[in-house]
Copies of this chain bind each other. A is one copy, B any other.
Amino acid sequence: MTSSTQLRAAIVGSTGYGGVELIRLLQSHPYVTVTSVISSSTAGTPIAEGFPHLNEICTDLLDGIDVELIRSKADVVFLATPNGISMKLAPDFLAAGLKVIDLSGDFRLKNGDTYQEWYKHEPAPSEWVERAVYGLAEVYGEQVVGSDFISNPGCFTTTSLLALYPAVKAGWIDPDSIIIDAKSGVSGAGRGASFGTHYSEINENFKAYKINKHQHIPEIEQVLSEAAGRSVITTFTTHLVPMTRGIMATSYATMTEKRKASEFVELYRQFYEGRSFVRIYDDGKWPATKFVYGSNYCDIGFSVDERTGRITIISVTDNLVKGAAGQAIQNLNLSMGWDETLGLQFTPVYP
C-alpha cells in the first residue's frame, strides 16, 4: 500500500491521554496517516504546544469539531471523548460515511436502563447502540471484521474479561463467586486537573475508590453473562496505584471442580491460539504491570489454592494501550481485514 492509498485518520479528543496515545501509536502504523487532530478547547493551536514530546513529530494545528471538515480529511474517526459526548458525535460521523471507533463508554452497554443507572445520565439512542460492535478483540474479533462502528471496551473491562472469559465459557469457575480486585495507574483518570490527581495526594499513597459503583461493572457483567449463558453479577473494586500506566486485575473464583493451574494454562493457550497480544504464563509465574508497559499485550497468570478450591488469576495491561488506544487500533486493523498487529508490534518499555 503506498502513501497515496493510506487510510486517513482523525482523532477527536487529541489532547486527552487516550487521544495523544493514539497519535503516538499511529505514527508507527504502515497503512494509516493521522490527518486531523481535533480538540474543541484548543482548536487553532499546534498540538505540540501543549505536548512538546510531539515537537517535529506532529506539527499539525488542532482542528475544531466540524463534521464537514473532518469528512473531507479523514476516512476513520477515533472518538477519544468523555462519556456523554461520543453519543452526540458518533451518529453524525457515521451518517457522513466515516468509520467510527469510539473509546468512550457510550455504546458499550446494550441495555439503556443499565447505562442510565451506572453512568447517571441519558443513554445513547438504542438504534445506534445496537449498531455498534463491542470490540473486545480477542473475544468478539470476528464481529469486528467489516464493521464501520466499533465500541472499544473499557480498560478495567478488557483486563478483567481476558482473564475470566475462557474459564467462565468453559464452565470451570462458578460465575457467581467471581471477585475482581483491580488496581490502576493514574493516567486512567484522564488529564483533567483535580484534587484527586494532585501529585502530593497520590504519591506514597494507595487508595480504593468507587467501591461497588464503578461503571465498568455492568460492562464486565454483560460479557460474563454472555459467556455463562445466564445473568451474572460480580464484585469489583478499583484502587489507585501511585504510578502512571498499568492495570492489574486480581480475580478470584471458586472452581467448579478440582483442577491444577497448569490445566488453566492449557485452556487459555488454546482459547487465545493465533492471537498475538495475550500471553499466558507458565504455572507458578505471574505478570507485573511493567512487563506490558507501553505495549498492547495482556499478560495472564494463575494460582490454584487446593486448600480453598479457589483460583486466583492475575492479568495486566497498559491501560492506555490495550486498555484504550492500542485495542482501538487493533480493532481498526480487524475491521479492515488487516493483520491485527499492524502498528502495534513493539516491545514493552523496560525498565
A27 contacts the other chain (Cβ, under 8 Å)? yes
Within 8 Å by CB of A198, from B54, B181, B191, B303, lies B191
Contact assessment for A290 and B53 in the assembled complex, using a CB-CB cutoff below 8 Å = yes
Contact assessment for B307 and A207 in the assembled complex, using a CB-CB cutoff below 8 Å = no
A267 contacts the other chain (Cβ, under 8 Å)? no
A316–B207 alpha-carbon span in the complex (Å): 9
Residue of B nearest to A318 (CB): B349
A326 contacts the other chain (Cβ, under 8 Å)? no
Contact assessment for B207 and A186 in the assembled complex, using a CB-CB cutoff below 8 Å = no
Q: Smallest distance from the beta carbon of A213 to chain B beta carbons, Å?
A: 8
Residues of B within 8 A of A141 (CB): none
State the copy count for this chain: 4
Residues of B within 8 A of A246 (CB): 204-206
Contact assessment for A183 and B186 in the assembled complex, using a CB-CB cutoff below 8 Å = no
Selecting from A62-70, A233-241, A330-338, the interface stretch reads A233-241
A198/B199 contact (C-beta < 8 A), A23-B347, A314-B211, A349-B294 known: yes
A36 contacts the other chain (Cβ, under 8 Å)? no
A116 contacts the other chain (Cβ, under 8 Å)? no
A211/B53 contact (C-beta < 8 A), A239-B248, A290-B205, A346-B27 known: no
Contact with B along A164-196 (1 / 0, CB 8 A): 000000000000000101010111000101110
Within 8 Å by CB of A233, from B54, B205, B295, B307, lies B307
Contact assessment for A193 and B198 in the assembled complex, using a CB-CB cutoff below 8 Å = yes
A257–B28 alpha-carbon span in the complex (Å): 45
Q: Smallest distance from the beta carbon of A176 to chain B beta carbons, Å?
A: 8
A291–B51 alpha-carbon span in the complex (Å): 8
Q: Smallest distance from the beta carbon of A197 to chain B beta carbons, Å?
A: 5
A252/B179 contact (C-beta < 8 A), A242-B241, A243-B205 known: yes
19 contacts between A and B (CB under 8 A): A27-B345, A28-B346, A55-B291, A179-B310, A183-B183, A186-B203, A187-B200, A193-B193, A193-B198, A199-B199, A199-B242, A200-B244, A203-B244, A204-B243, A205-B288, A207-B290, A211-B286, A241-B241, A242-B242
Point out residues on A near B: beta carbons under 8 Å: 17, 20, 23-24, 27-28, 51-57, 179, 181, 183, 185-187, 191, 193-195, 197-209, 211-212, 233-235, 237, 239, 241-246, 248, 250, 252, 279, 281, 285-295, 299, 303-305, 307-308, 310, 312, 314, 316, 345-351
